[in-house]
Amino acid sequence: MAYHFSPIKLDDKGHIRDSVFAILRNAILDKKLEPGQRLVERSIAEELGISRTPVREAIHKLVLERLVTHVPRKGVVVSGFTKADIVEILVIRTSLEALICSIAAAKIKPRELKRLESLAKQISDEHEKGNLKKSNQLNDKFHEIIYRAAESPRVHSFLNTLHEYITKFTQVAYSKPGRPAEVCVEHKAIIEALSKHDSSEAEAVAKKHAKNSSKAFLEMAYCD
């Protein structure tokens, strides 16, 4: 059975395993590989024109991220994403988003607060111009500032992973009527809580922000 992967270009200076990981990951998230489908190391390696070793290492990472499941004596198969899985990811993100915000409140510097205010304004501007892509990028930066301010590498990297899962669908969430305006209001509330270095308020508003975002996503994604 063929996966229809193109041979890898070797001009990449990064490690092959990372390229393979990205290829497989995108294929799964883009549903090019169906849930339940087996991933056969030899076949993938052959199609990509490389050896099994980097393929194995890439698959390993996928297992750790639960995008594929290891079945004894069968190899790995693509995991299915049920609605329950999506919900779990969203609630984890909500919880950690609240956590990192409360931590950030205690540590954030005036310089970073300034940057957040500037970004919030830009985001709102781009919204009005209808520039979804740009405003999404800026939105990511907004949250990245907060993540960094919290100086909590584990939470930070975990949130990034979750974010990548969700990103594949996020423009859907933003297309919900009225959501962009809400986002602006919520961003302002977050900035205010952070400015006051009020951890519990920051936790509360961040949780509300993430919950609303999750809700908007679920409504749009599962309206059927």
* Chain residues that interact with a second copy, rule: CB under 8 A: 56-57, 60-61, 64, 66, 84, 88-89, 91-92, 95-96, 98-99, 103, 151-155
Residue with tokens 């999506």: 86
Token pair 């063929």: residue: 2
3-class DSSP assignment, residue 38: strand
Task: Figure out which of the listed residues 56, 61, 197, 211 binds DNA, where binding follows CB under 7 A.
Answer: 56
In the complex, minimum distance from the CB of residue 60 to a second copy, in angstroms, rounded to a whole number: 6
Residue 103 binds which of DNA, a second copy, none (CB < 5-8 A, kind-dependent): a second copy
8-27 residues in contact with DNA (CB under 7 A) are: 15-17
Across the beta sheet with 38-39, the strand order is 38-39, 75-78, 68-71
DSSP secondary structure string, 57-76? HHHHHHHHTTSEEEETTTEE
Distance CA 59, CA 170 (A): 26
CB of 40 to a second copy, least distance (A): 18
Q: Which of 28, 62, 76, 86 binds DNA (CB under 7 A)?
A: 76
Residue nearer to a second copy on the CB measure, 93 or 179: 93
| Alpha-helical segments (H) within 81-178 | 83-107, 110-129, 132-150, 153-174
Minimal distance in Å, beta carbon 51 to DNA? Answer: 3
Q: Which is nearer to a second copy, 95 or 171 (CB)?
A: 95
Query: How many positions of this chain bind DNA (CB under 7 A)?
Result: 21
Q: Pick from 28, 50, 67, 150 the residue near DNA by CB under 7 A.
A: 50
Task: Answer whether 102's CB lies under 8 Å from 202's CB.
Answer: yes
The smaller minimum CB distance to DNA, of residues 32 and 38, is found at 38
Q: Give which of a second copy, DNA, none residue 109 binds (C-beta under 5 to 8 Å, depending on kind).
A: none
Interface with DNA includes 109 (CB under 7 A)? no
Length of the chain: 224
- The tokens for 77 are 């198969």
57 vs 27: CA distance, rounded Å: 17
- For residues 141 and 11, what is the distance between their CA atoms, to the nearest angstrom? 30
Chain residues binding DNA by CB under 7 A are 15-17, 38-43, 50-54, 56-57, 70, 73-76
